[in-house]
Chains A and B, each alone.
Chain A
Amino acid sequence: MAEWLTDNGLLLGLALLDGLAYAALVFMVAVGLNMVFGVLRIVNVAHGSLFAIGAYTAASVGIFFASLGLPAWASYVALLLAAALVGGILGPLIERLILRRIYGQEEVLQLLVTFALFMILEDVQKLIWGVQPIMQDTPMKFLGTVEVPFGEDTIPFTAYQLFVLPGVAVATLAGLAWFLRRTLTGRVIVAVTTDKEAAMAMGIDAAKVTLLTFTFGAALAALGGALASPTTSLVPGIGAQTIVLSFAVVATAGLGQIEGAAISALMIGLGRSIAVYLAPEFEVVVPYIIMVAVLLVRPQGLFGVLETRRV
C-alpha cells in the first residue's frame, strides 16, 4: 500500500484537482434542484434543460459581446447576465403557467409534468441553437494557465478550472447559507421547506415563496450551465446527462440540504476523477454506486431528516 502510494500519490493529487472543479459544477446544478425540491416538493426533471439553456445563452451573449468589441473580462459579465436572463424569464414562466396548476396533485404527475417540459425544452433548445457544437471559451482563455508541480515535471491547469469554478461554488454555498439564515426572505424559504402548512398558517404567502424559489433555482441551474460553457462544447443532450448526475448528488445529500449537496458533490466529483486513473471502465458508474451505498446505510441521505410516515 505504502509503495503504491509513493508511486501513485502524485497522480492522485492531480486527480483531486480535477475532481474539485468537476464537483463545483455539479454542486451548482444540484443545489438549485435541492432548493426547489425543498419548497415545491417537486423533483424538477427540466432542471437539466435550464442548465443547458443557461450554457447556450451564456455562449450567445459572450459571442455577442465579443462582436461588439468588448474586452475579454466582459465575458464574465456575459455568464452572469445569461444566468439572470434564463432564471428571470424561464423560471417565472414555468412556475406560473405550468407548475402552479399541479401543486398538491399526485407526485407522479408533478414529476411527469417536468419530464414533459424536459422533452419540450430539449427540442426548443435545438430549434434555437441548432446542433453544431458551440464554443465560447473567452472566460477560460482570459485567465491563462497555472503550472502545477508534478515530481520533476509540471502540469498546466487552467486558472479557470483551478480557481474560478471552485471559487464560485464556495461563494454560492456561503452566500446561500447567509441568505437562508440571516435574511427575512431566506428564513421564510426555510420555514416553508420545513413545514409548509405551519408557515402558511402564520400568514406566509406561499405562492410568492414558490415563485421566488423556483426562479432562484432556475437561475442557479443556468449559472451552472454558464460556468460550464467555457470549458466544454455545447451539444444537444447535455441537459439529460447533467440532470441524472444532480439527482444522484441530491439523493446522496438528503433532500433539501444545502451543505449536504456540497459534500456529496465533492464525494461524487472526486470519486469520478480517481476512477479515471484507477479504473476508467467504472468512471460512469461511480456516482450511482456512491449514492446507492450511502442510501443503504442512511436511507434519508447523508444529511436528510427522516420523515414521519403517514398515519
Chain B
Amino acid sequence: MTHAVTRRAAMLGAAATSGSLLLAGGNAGAQQKPAELRVGITTFLSGAASVFGVPAKQAAEMLFEEINKAGGIGGVPVKAFFVDEAPGTDHLVGEYRRLVQNEGVHIIFASISSGSCLACTPLSDEMRKTTLLWDCGTQRIFEEGPHPYAFRTQGYGTPEVLAPLLYLLKHKPDFKTLAVINQDYAWGRDSWEMWKAGMDALKPGVRVVAEMFPRFGATDYSTEVTRLLAARPDVVLSTSWGGDLVTLVRQATERKLFDRSTFVLPVAEASLQTLGRNMASGHIIGARGDHWNNHPKPKDPARLAKFVDSYRAKFNEYPIYPCHHMAQAISAMQAGFAKAIAAKGGAWPNDQELANAFRGLTFDTPTSSITLREDGQGLEDQIVGMSTFTDRFPFAVPKDMVIFPAAMVSTPVGMKSVEWLKTLKPDILAQMAAPIAG
C-alpha cells in the first residue's frame, strides 16, 4: 500500500506543477515596461538540421549574456525561450502559440526551415506578434502576400543563387554542360528553378546532363558521384548544406570529381570548417551573405573580431553563417526596440508600435548594414569567391571575392523571383565589382 500512496503523492505533485504552469503567463500585451524582454526563438535542436540550429542557439545565448551585462534593451534584461523545430510543423505551430499565449514573449525569431517559416508567418499575422525570420531562405514568404508583422533580417534564396551564378558566368564563361545535385526539399528545388531561370536568360544553350535530388539527410552519394563522373559535366551545382554537403564533398573529393568538374556551392561556408583540408581549391563558394571570416573590408573589423573570438573562446569552433544570421536578428531587435521606444518618447511599445518600428529599419552588422525594405525583406550583401587555403585558417576560405550589393541581386518589391530572373540581361555582368584578392 505504501507503493500506492507514493504514487498518489507523485501524481498530486505532478498535477500541482502542471496547474501552476497552466495559469502562468497570460498577461501578455501589457504596455508598462516589463520585468524582462521575452524572446521566443525557434531553431533546430535535434535532427540533421541541428548542425545549424545548435551553433545559432549558442550564439544567441552568448549575445544575450553580453546584452544583459550591458544593461539589457531599454533597461530591460532579455530572456530567450528556445523551441525545437525538429518534431514537425504541427508541434511547432503549437509551440508558437505557447510562446505567445503562455510565455508572453514580446518578439519571436522564427525558423531555419522554410517549411517552419511558411507555417509561422501566417500565425504572426493572426496573433499580431512581431516575428523576425532569422534564417530561412524561401522566396515565397513575401512574394506570395504581405505579412505586416514579419521581417526577414537577412538575405534570401534569390540573391543567394543569383550571386554565385553571376560569379560563374564572369569567371568561367565558357562552360557548356552542367549537372545539379540538390537536397530534395523546397530550398533544393526552388534554388534550382531560380538558377535555371537565370542561367537560361543570361547564357542560353547550356546542356543540363543530370538533375538529381537525393533525399534530404542522405548519407551515401556514391551512386550519384559515379553518375556525375560518367557524365563529365563542366559544372556541378549543389545548394546542399550540413551533413549532406560534407558527405557529398568528401565522397566526390575522394573520387577526383573535383578534378573533372568545377563545383558551385552557394551554401558551402557552414561546412568548410568540418571539411578542413578535404575541400578542394578553385571552386566557387558562397555564404548566404557576406559574413566570411576573411571579409576583405568589414564595416566594423573590431566588432567582427570580437564576435568571432568570443564565440571561438566559448565553443572552441568558428561561428558559421547561422550564428551570424542569429546575431543579425539580435542586432535588428536592439535597433527596432530602440527606434520604437524613442518614437514613443521613452515609453514601452505595444505590438503594433514595435512592428511599425521594423519597417524600413536599418541596422549594422559587423561586416555591413542591412535595411528591411517595405515588404519586410532584408537587404544583405552577398560575397562569392573561389575556394583557397591560407595560413590563417585550417579550412578553405574564398579568394578573388566579389561583393554583390543586395539591391543588385534581389528581386524588386512586388515581383516574383523566377519571373524577374527570366528578364535578366547579360549587361548585369558589367555591373559586377572587380574581385578582391582576399
Contact = CB atoms under 8 A, between A and B. Distances in A.
Given A133-B271, A161-B222, A233 B47 contact: no
A238 B278 CA distance: 22
A15 B230 CA distance: 11
Nearest to A274: B223
B281 interface: no
Contacts of B255: 145, 155-158
A22 interface: yes
How extensive is the interface on chain A, given as a class?
Answer: 35 or more
Chain B residues touching A, range: 35 or more
A137 B219 CA distance: 14
A52 to B, nearest CB: 10
Contacts of B54: 130-132
A21 B53 CA distance: 33
A231 B256 contact: no
Interface in A107-166: 122-123, 126, 130-135, 137, 140-141, 145, 150, 153, 155-158, 161
Given A14-B226, A132-B274, A231 B220 contact: yes
A123 B51 CA distance: 14
A232 interface: yes
Contacts of A277: 223, 227
Helix, strand, loop or mixed for chain B's interface?
Answer: helix
B180 to A, nearest CB: 12
Interface string A15-36: 1011101100100000000000
Interface string A179-204: 00000000000000000000000000
A164 to B, nearest CB: 13
Contacts of B66: none
Contact of A235 (B217, B229, B256): B217
B274 A133 contact: yes
Contacts of A280: 212-214
A137 B254 contact: yes
Contacts of B48: 235-237
Contacts of B232: 153
A280 B180 CA distance: 13
A226 interface: no
Contacts of A155: 226, 229-230, 255
A231 B213 contact: no
Contacts of B254: 137, 140-141, 145, 158
Contact of B46 (A17, A19, A126): A126
Contact of B242 (A19, A133, A232, A272): A133
Given A145-B255, A155-B230, A236 B274 contact: no
A182 B55 CA distance: 53
Contacts of B274: 132-135, 233
B47 A236 contact: yes
B222 A21 contact: yes
A144 to B, nearest CB: 9
B310 interface: no
Interface of A: 11, 14-15, 17-19, 21-22, 25, 122-123, 126, 130-135, 137, 140-141, 145, 150, 153, 155-158, 161, 228, 231-238, 241, 272-273, 276-277, 280-281, 283-284
Given A137-B250, A237-B48, A283-B215, 12 more contacts: A14-B230, A22-B223, A126-B50, A132-B51, A133-B242, A137-B278, A150-B230, A155-B230, A158-B254, A235-B48, A237-B47, A241-B217
The 7 lowest CB-CB distance pairs between A and B, nearest first, are A235-B243, A131-B50, A233-B246, A18-B223, A133-B243, A276-B223, A273-B223
